[in-house]
Amino acid sequence: MRTANQYYRQRFGCKVYKLSLDGGFTCPNRDGRLGIGGCRFCSGAGSGEFASAGKGVADQLARAKKWVEKKCAGGKYIAYFQSFTNTYAPVERMETMFRAAMEPEDIVGLAIATRPDCLPEETVALLARLAREKYVSVELGLQTVHNDTARAMNRCYDTDVYFDAVRRLRNAGLEVVTHLILGLPGESREAMVESARQVAAAGTDGVKFHLLHVMADAPLAEDYAAGTFRCLELEEYGEILAECLRQFPDTAVVHRITGDGARRGLIAPMWSLDKKRVLNYLNDLLSGYGLLDQRGL
């Protein structure tokens, strides 16, 4: 399996950084169309804690680039619409925004995070048109294939919708990256591995694994305070992650091996704050198993 860095270097011939953007979207399970309150694990930032604050797309891109350049010079960028559901809008509004983001020469393409139930045919057609001009990857927040967990988490769509979306996106020539959360309340190790197995079988091009973390402003904080579940320990997370990775073919791209919650507002697990230690531990474990060479992930 390849890391995202390895994949981008092969594809674009240079180091590629993702610039997180907030397009001002919301979600159908926040605005009342399907539900209110959003997914129980989701913070008020709509899973976009690291999206650049700013008004328009150009302003956000400039700020985000400045921030990256402070740490590492050189390379190119992917404009990453990260916060909330970035295809939950009229096609004309999306087209204007996405074209503005992909226009600069040093932007090699777009990554668009969304829900599989917010991909009507006209949206898929728009994304396919854009993909003929620059790279476009569609990131689907699935989190689990298990509908009982999804219902408990207020995801507000059934997993069949995801399988249908993957099929339609891939038929349109679009790249698909699937997000999975390890440690959702009530899920056994076997259940998490089964999610990975089904996602791999569906043909996702890439995968992002996230550790379930509890943020103070997420509804899940109430359940955690009530003691209805516990968070994974690092060692457990590593072993489950390894087993999940074993489900994927060599061609799959691993974009993330864990998620980072913002320091401010994190309730649990506190071990996830030591990002360097966590990544070193997971890197050593996965390379020891011969699963992934994490250098540069």
Residue from 63, 54, 116, 56 nearest 85 by CA:
116
Number of residues in contact with ligand SF4 under rule CB under 6 A? 12
- What is the distance between the alpha carbons of residues 236 and 233, in angstroms, rounded to a whole number? 5
Residue of 188, 286, 202, 186 lying closest to 245 (CA atoms): 286
Footprint of ligand SF4 on 141-180 (CB under 6 A)? 141
CB 7 within 8 A of CB 132: no
Beta bridge partners of 208: 179, 256
Nearest distance in Å: CB 36, ligand SF4: 10
Residues 13-52 vs ligand SF4: string with x where CB under 6 A? --------------x-xx-------xx--x---xx-----
Site residues for ligand SF4, 225-254, by CB under 6 A, read: none
Angle at the Cα of 179 from the Cα atoms of 174 and 181, rounded to 5 degrees: 170
| Centroid of chain to Cα 37 | 20
Per-residue mark of binding to ligand SF4, 73-112 (x: CB under 6 A): -----------xx---------------------------
Q: What character string, x for contact with ligand SF4 (CB under 6 A) and - otherwise, covers 115-134? A: x-------------------
Q: Are 240 and 193 in contact (CB under 8 A)?
A: yes
Return the number of the residue (23 or 46) whose C-beta is nearest ligand SF4: 46
If one asks whether residue 140 binds ligand SF4 (CB under 6 A), the answer comes out as no
Which residues are paired to 139 by β-bridges?
Answer: 113, 177
Min dist. Cβ of residue 277 to ligand SF4 (A)? 27
The Cα 125–Cα 229 span in angstroms is 42
Least spacing, CB of residue 40 vs ligand SF4, in Å = 9
The residues that touch ligand SF4, with contacts defined as CB under 6 A, are 27, 29-30, 38-39, 42, 46-47, 84-85, 115, 141
